[in-house]
Amino acid sequence: MITILRTLVVTLAVVFCSSLAWGNNMKLIPSDALTKILRNAIATSNYSELIIDGAAGETISSQAVLIPGDMQDTVSVAASDFRTTDGKSVISSSSAKLQWVRYLDISKNSPGVPVDELVAVAPTSIPDPFWEDAKLSIEPKTPQPVWIEISVPSDSKQGEYAGELRVTGNNGNCRIPVTLRVRGFKLSDDRHQRVIQWWDFPGRGFTDLKPGTDAYWKHLEQMCALVQRHRQTDVRVVWDIIPQVTARNGKKIWDMSLFEKYMEIVLKSGLYAVQFTALGQHDKFQLDQDSRVIGHDYNLGRLGALQKLVKKRGWKGRVFISLADEPFIYGEKSYNELLKQVHKMAPDIGVIEAVENDGFPDLDISVPKLSHLNLWWPHYQELKRQGKKIWFYTCCHPQGRYPNRFLDQTLLSARELHWIQYFYGLDGYLHWGLNWFAAKGDPYTEAVANEWGLPQGDAQVAYPVKDGFIGSMRLSAMRDGLQDYEYLWTLENRLGELKKHIGDDAKWLDPRQRPLELCHRVVQSFYDHTRDPKVLMNTRATIADEIDALDTMPLLYVQTSPPETTVTPEGPILINVRGIVTPGAKITINSTPVIPANITKTGCFIGCVFLTEKENEVVVTAELNGVTRTCKRVFVVKN
């Protein structure tokens, strides 16, 4: 089979020019956090250093590729401290987590995904999990990626920090310079969207852990830490954690002690909520016309005890349940009857459901599949207007050209899921498969990782190692997408603060418009999205630039009507321009000065521009005390 390489798995024929990257019998090449390096890739680069860009409080991903010489070797990788030029600010090497990338061999591709959306055509090897050990045995002349994650301390000062990455082996060593650019803003400690990927707990290799033991609770702490580091907010729990026991008086009661401690550990780890598995089930296959949703009596009994505990501990909004996964239209009536019963029995416990139908308006959290959200969007828009929480989910579907997180799709595809969240104002994301594997065999083989014949990687983005579970490139890419979301949120929040500070003069300012204009460069609909990693990374940098610019003098913010993303025919085309500058600044719009009468004392200004197909830009400049700032908005004009 011929391997198909997409844009982000780049084969470049560029001579690498940095002597620092070369070593004795090996060399190290800079890459990025959106490239899957295949084993037969000719990994070269036209960059002589690794440049990493992000905010304080962020975990920034990147990647480098080790090119071994003609001898087998065992190597280790390390990072130096990162220092500003003046040496006054230091980010310790302990902030850098370095992991060798591991490969999975697959014999077939995920079904339903067009060839040009795949990283490679099977049979092939795909990079995804990480090796647990710091040392790795490498093959001669075979590219070996190392995944880099730098957790920038929240109190880090803005600036450029210089360091290096070095690889040491028995037969040689090499190094590469690293520039870490820290932005002026801090990523919020809060999570502004909810995320869960259902875990198998305690999971493959740990099923012998006895509930309630110290080892069991330590394992829970480690798994909570893993998902929390990757910005997941919720975790899953099974109803069996509430066993029925006989009290001293001989009565049967529900023992809440295990769940209570489970919940305490989850919350202490920084996670937000737990979600119970289904309280009931479908009595037949959901697409049978006479299928119904029924509740299990023993789980309804547990529900009553759970309600009492949740109310006692003040955990309302932190505990959720499912009734029956993925209900279709045929179970609509019976599902809604059970939902009404559950709401009456447990008013402090929310109901969240991954749904295959638009007929469940009384759910606390509705979670349609990404493709169904597209098909039924007007319905869910109305629910949003009513204040309902709307998440979305992916699983073995959707396929086609929808983004998903299959093993043989691009990292860009997984990351863009969370740009979609911002674009449509969705409240959360769900996936069923964090760490599911067949019971026996090597989990790093296709037969065990994909026992159920699902799309490649659908069942897991975390893998078992001797001390717990370890992440993967896809899990990190999704975390990076969640941080991209926070960039967009930060820009929106800062614009909201600016509007509030200015007051009535800025009542026209829509804090969400500019973030949406930028988000539109990456995703345009539920399935229209860029396939070029540079577009995402450049857009992310622009968002960061515009956040930092709000603290730069002179201030200049521009909002157009219609928005920048508007496509318009010739007509004439009138663009209204509004903005805010530092009072006293001189303003021009497409080289025409704005007269003082159109500038308020608070610095708000107005203007308008007529565009043509050839002159399709609005360029606003502000000058104060010899310093000039420029904002540009570009429109698509068609004949």
Residue 9 to residue 413: CA distance in whole angstroms: 13
- If you average pLDDT over every residue of the chain, what do you get? 94
pLDDT band at 23 (very low <50, low <70, confident <90, very high): low
DSSP code for 356: S
Q: Among all chains, which residue has been given the structure tokens 């968002």?
A: 543
Burial (CB count within 10 angstroms: exposed 0-12, middle 13-18, buried 19+), residue 452: exposed
Residue 596 to residue 586: CA distance in whole angstroms: 9
Residue 44 has pLDDT above 90, yes or no: no
pLDDT tens sequence across 400-417:
999 999 999 999 999 999
Query: According to the model, what pLDDT value does residue 22 have?
Result: 47
What percentage of the chain carries pLDDT values higher than 70?
96
Residue 50 to residue 31: CA distance in whole angstroms: 7
pLDDT tens sequence across 84-97:
999 899 999 999 99
pLDDT tens sequence across 497-542:
999 999 999 999 999 999 999 999 999 999 999 999 999 999 999 9
Residue 175 to residue 187: CA distance in whole angstroms: 30
Phi-psi domain of 468 (left: phi exceeds 0; alpha: psi -120 through 50; beta: other):
left
Stated length of the chain: 639
Q: Provide the β-strand partners of residue 130.
A: 101
What DSSP assignment string belongs to 132-150? SSSEEEE-TT--EEEEEEE
- Which run of H or of E encompasses 215? helix 214-229
Residue 255 to residue 248: CA distance in whole angstroms: 13
Summarize the confidence of residues 54-67 as an average pLDDT. Answer: 97
Segment among 197-201, 205-209, 246-250 with least mean pLDDT: 246-250
What the chain holds in terms of domains, given with CATH numbers, is 19-186 (2.60.40.10), 194-472 (3.20.20), 552-639 (2.60.40.10)
Structure tokens at 247: 């009290």
Task: Give the sign of the dihedral formed by CA 35, CA 36, CA 37, CA 38.
Answer: negative
Summarize the confidence of residues 326-336 as an average pLDDT. Answer: 96
Query: According to the model, what pLDDT value does residue 18 have?
Result: 36
Phi, psi of 61 (to 5 degrees): -95, 150
